[in-house]
Structure 1
Amino acid sequence: MDGALVSRSLLPDEALIAFLSPNCEPCRAKLPELVAYAAAEPGGRDRTLAIVVGEPEECERFVRELSSVARVVVEPRGGPVCAALRVDAFPATLRVRSDRDRTVVTGHMVDLAREASPR
């Protein structure tokens, strides 16, 4: 949303990728928890990528709340990031790392409450 291109090569290992939709009640409930988690992530907003799925105007609140703690991409359902990581249900949170020339998902459905506790 800030005009910068996003690619796997720009995400550090163990980056968090969160998929949310403003049309999803569990996503609306999880939003404050995700914002708090991402704010505490070492490495700041460069370590968290938030994919907000929906029409741009309906995604405005999510974009506004996430922009200070994550890189934010807005895309339609079935968009390129969701397709690349085969995400079709929301909310979804993943940890990813590089393995040679591949992206490897190292954790599905990251427990934000548990991981946000002191490390």
Structure 2
Amino acid sequence: MSFLVVSVILLTLAVLANLILTYGVIRRLREHSEMIASSGRRDVSVSVGAQIGAFATTTTRGEPITNDSLGEQTLVAFFSPSCKPCHEKLPSFLKYSSQSSNDTLAVVLTSEKDEAEEMIAQLETTSRVCVDTFDSTISSAFSIVGTPAFVTVSYGSVTANGLPETVATSA
């Protein structure tokens, strides 16, 4: 009988030690999650309220585009054909650009235009499209450090970041 009592006491102590260690690990994970969330997040484009830099480029159809030619509420989207999240966001962007009364400009960032042909063809159905590299003047003008990136510009000033959730309806 004394063997059973000793076993139960040891097992209880082991469970309590495990509980204390688990609590400590969970507390440490929460601290690390907060640190990552506060310091690990980086914007992939210029901040709201900032002015975009100067740039000049041409669309796939030969139309010149500059920072001064972006009018009121133009959504500028940056995609890369090798970016999986870009392919996931592409249908939402296409839906927005086909239903919105706002102007849209899609910038495909790639070093090989051939690998982007399918994406370019899809984007050309609803938007003006530019093809450029990650180190181009348009990427620098919008401070692009990753894709996908969505920036709404009104006469050279950034009014919003991200893909709009709802499609504006025209009256």
Mark the runs of 5 or more structure 1 residues left unpaired by the alignment: none
Aligned-CA RMSD value: 1.6
Of the candidates 49, 66, 73, which is equivalent to residue 130 of structure 2? 73
> Comparing both structures, which one devotes a greater share of its residues to strand?
1
Q: Within 5 A, what are the aligned runs for 1:76-87?
A: 76-87=133-144
Structure 2 equivalent of residue 6 of structure 1: 65
Q: Within 5 A, what are the aligned runs for 1:1-119?
A: 1-42=60-101, 47-54=103-110, 55-98=112-155, 103-111=156-164, 114-116=165-167
> Comparing both structures, which one devotes a greater share of its residues to helix?
2
TM-score (ref. length: structure 1): 0.85
Residue 93 of structure 2 contacts residue 163 of structure 2 at CA under 8 Å; is this kept in 1?
Answer: no
> Helix, strand or coil for the counterpart of 1:35?
helix
Residue 101 of structure 2 contacts residue 168 of structure 2 at CA under 8 Å; is this kept in 1?
Answer: no
- Percent sequence identity over aligned pairs: 28
Mark the runs of 5 or more structure 2 residues left unpaired by the alignment: 1-59
Once the two structures are superposed, residues 79-100 of structure 1 have per-residue CA deviations (whole angstroms, 9 ceiling, x without a partner) of 11111110111100010012xx
Runs of 4+ in 1 over 3 A off after TM superposition: none
TM-score (ref. length: structure 2): 0.60
> Helix, strand or coil for the counterpart of 1:77?
coil
Once the two structures are superposed, residues 40-84 of structure 1 have per-residue CA deviations (whole angstroms, 9 ceiling, x without a partner) of 1115xxx10000000211111111001121110000112111111
Q: Say which is worse superposed, 3-12 or 25-34, in terms of deviation.
A: 3-12
Larger Rg: 2
Residues in 1 aligned to 2:98 and 2:118: alpha-carbon distance in whole angstroms: 17
